[in-house]
């Protein structure tokens, strides 16, 4: 009786560990697939902390982000349904055995602010991440120890291959969808419907963190840093880069680094843009040298549309003077440029370039370079078009939509597989029945021949 109780407790514990790991891995993998650019930027932070950023090709962080997202989601899905129990339990244990010491180093050395395990959806400190991984490592050890005896399956062997294969295909296509368009779930402070001005406010009684944005310019081979207060009036200085650093730590509002400086004269455009009662298009490109120029004709048309209707259009970037001039030459860009912090630009929109529509600091809409509005959508002034109003879908609506994308085709393919299985079973039964009839007829013929032989012998 005591052994029976121990077995029950152990069974409950192992499957609790299994579902805990499944939930964490599915959530982590899905969040990474939802925002591959954010994951890739975090990998670049790791490489920079290890001094490897300069020797690693630029595409590898993005490829690595995709592979990590697909792997985590697939492992979580397999854990949930109980597919490939032996292989999955080994992979999960190896992954946690690698990640736990890594996050301990992150917690001690603190080279980056957070590990980025759950993207912007759930930000954990490095120590919180380490303790989380200790719990998951213990769960992975328990799962590996009793994987064969107590790890029950939620699906039969007839459909587990279909669920496993479809899960991989789904997360790959979802990743591609979010790269091509924009993340379905936007957890950043610059999501559609967000008020930038409200996000910059400091609660009463709180002291704000003081930031300083410096702009690096070069003249006669000498580089020098300037702030907005001492910006050079000499136009022979050439812009090289910009960076933002903390001068005094205090309360940090969700948006603390939204600052735009005019590329032409160095004036601060931030308040003018955020307080403008009219519409403003911001073409966002952290690096123009790496930007996708396939939609440049359409971008120029949007600029012409803005001029025609009296809207502000500004390209904000952290690019150098050389890159800006080269962009203008290659694309025929006539719109003005503004300078902004690179990290802020990467946070605003996950596309290079991307386009956002503002009105009095409110983000009305966002587009990737692949989904820019065309002349058919911009057929009138924005106040008369759906584009000129907040295009916002609730999180619950998006969640139901994604679940529908996953379970709808999965149920359809499962039904097709079940029908095919029944069809094959029916054919097998029919063939066996035919073989049985043939055998019966053969036996009857043999008995008939035997009867005739016996009659002749008599």
Ordered DSSP codes for 56-92: S-THHHHHHHHHHHHHHHHHHHHHHHT-SHHHHHHHH
Angle between helices 36-49 and 160-180 (to 10 degrees): 80
Q: What is the CA radius of gyration of the chain?
A: 31
**Mean pLDDT of all residues in 6-16:** 78
pLDDT of res. 349? 93
pLDDT of res. 455? 62
Q: Read out DSSP for 37-61?
A: HHHHHHHHHHHHHTT-TTTS-THHH
**Mean pLDDT of all residues in 20-33:** 93
Instruction: Answer whether residue 443 shows pLDDT above 80.
Output: no
pLDDT of res. 153? 65
Instruction: Answer whether residue 333 shows pLDDT above 60.
Output: yes
pLDDT above 90 covers a percentage of the chain that reads: 38
pLDDT of res. 11? 79
**Mean pLDDT of all residues in 20-47:** 91
pLDDT of res. 346? 92
Kindly report whether the peptide bond that precedes residue 138 is cis, defined as omega within 30 degrees of 0. Answer: no
Instruction: Answer whether residue 449 shows pLDDT above 60.
Output: yes
Q: How confident is the model at residue 452 (pLDDT cuts 50, 70, 90)?
A: low
Q: How confident is the model at residue 170 (pLDDT cuts 50, 70, 90)?
A: very high
Q: Count the neighbouring beta carbons within 10 Å of the beta carbon of residue 288.
A: 25
Q: Is 198 helix (H, G, I), strand (E, B) or coil?
A: helix
Q: For 129-138, 244-253, 346-355, 439-448, which range has the lowest pLDDT when averaged over its residues?
A: 439-448
Computed over every residue of the chain, the mean pLDDT equals 85
**Mean pLDDT of all residues in 94-109:** 89
Instruction: Answer whether residue 150 shows pLDDT above 60.
Output: no
Instruction: Answer whether residue 411 shows pLDDT above 70.
Output: yes
Q: For 171-175, 231-235, 308-312, which range has the lowest pLDDT when averaged over its residues?
A: 231-235
**Mean pLDDT of all residues in 319-332:** 91
pLDDT of res. 197? 92
Q: How confident is the model at residue 453 (pLDDT cuts 50, 70, 90)?
A: low
pLDDT of res. 279? 95
pTM of the predicted structure, to 2 decimals: 0.80
**Mean pLDDT of all residues in 417-444:** 75
Q: How confident is the model at residue 151 (pLDDT cuts 50, 70, 90)?
A: low
Closest CA to 263 of 290, 246, 291, 283: 283
Q: How confident is the model at residue 53 (pLDDT cuts 50, 70, 90)?
A: confident
Summarize pLDDT for 385-395 with one digit per residue, the tens. 988 888 777 77
Q: What element of type H or E holds 103?
A: helix 85-109
Between CA 204 and CA 351, with CA 122 as vertex, the angle to 5 degrees is 95
pLDDT above 70 covers a percentage of the chain that reads: 91
pLDDT of res. 300? 93
Q: How confident is the model at residue 353 (pLDDT cuts 50, 70, 90)?
A: very high
Instruction: Answer whether residue 172 shows pLDDT above 90.
Output: yes
Distance CA 158, CA 363 (A): 49
């Amino acid at each position: 009786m005591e052994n029976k109780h121990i077995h029950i407790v152990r069974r409950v514990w192992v499957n609790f560990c299994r579902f805990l790991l499944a939930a964490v891995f599915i959530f982590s993998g899905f969040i990474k697939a939802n925002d591959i650019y954010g994951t890739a930027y975090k990998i670049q932070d790791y490489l920079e902390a290890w001094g490897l950023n300069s020797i690693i090709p630029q595409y590898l962080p993005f490829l690595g982000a995709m592979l990590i997202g697909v792997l985590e989601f697939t492992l979580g899905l397999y854990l949930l349904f109980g597919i490939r129990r032996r292989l999955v339990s080994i992979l999960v244990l190896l992954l946690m055995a690698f990640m736990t010491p890594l996050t301990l180093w992150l917690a001690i050395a603190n080279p980056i602010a957070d590990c980025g395990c759950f993207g912007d959806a759930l930000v954990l400190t490095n120590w919180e991440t380490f303790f989380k991984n200790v719990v998951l490592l213990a769960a992975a050890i328990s799962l590996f120890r009793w994987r064969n005896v107590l790890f029950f399956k939620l699906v039969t062997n007839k459909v587990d291959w279909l669920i496993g294969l479809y899960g991989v295909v789904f997360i790959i296509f979802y990743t591609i969808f979010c790269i091509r368009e924009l993340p379905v779930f936007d957890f950043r402070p610059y999501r559609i419907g967000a008020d930038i001005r409200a996000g910059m406010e400091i609660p009463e009684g709180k002291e704000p963190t003081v930031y300083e944005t410096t702009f690096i310019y070069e003249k006669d081979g000498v580089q020098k840093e300037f702030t907005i207060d001492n910006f050079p009036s000499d136009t022979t200085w050439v812009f090289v880069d910009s960076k933002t650093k903390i001068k005094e730590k205090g309360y940090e509002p969700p948006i603390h680094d939204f600052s735009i400086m005019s590329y032409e004269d160095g004036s601060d455009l931030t308040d003018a843009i955020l307080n403008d009662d009219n519409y403003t298009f911001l073409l966002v490109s952290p690096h123009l040298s790496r930007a996708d120029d396939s939609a440049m004709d359409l971008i120029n048309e949007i600029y012409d549309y803005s001029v025609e209707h009296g809207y502000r259009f500004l390209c904000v970037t952290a690019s150098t003077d050389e890159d800006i001039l080269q962009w203008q030459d290659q694309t025929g860009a006539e719109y003005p440029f503004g300078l902004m912090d690179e990290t802020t630009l990467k946070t605003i929109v996950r596309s290079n370039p991307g386009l956002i529509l503002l009105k009095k600091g409110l983000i009305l809409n966002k587009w990737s370079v692949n989904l820019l509005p065309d002349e058919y959508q911009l057929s009138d002034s924005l106040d008369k078009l759906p584009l000129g109003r907040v295009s916002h879908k609730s999180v619950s609506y998006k969640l139901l939509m994604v679940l529908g994308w996953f379970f709808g085709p999965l149920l359809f393919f499962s039904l097709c597989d079940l029908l095919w299985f029944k069809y094959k079973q029916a054919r097998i039964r029919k063939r066996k029945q035919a073989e049985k009839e043939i055998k019966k007829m053969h036996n009857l013929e043999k008995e008939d021949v035997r009867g005739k032989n016996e009659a002749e012998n008599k």
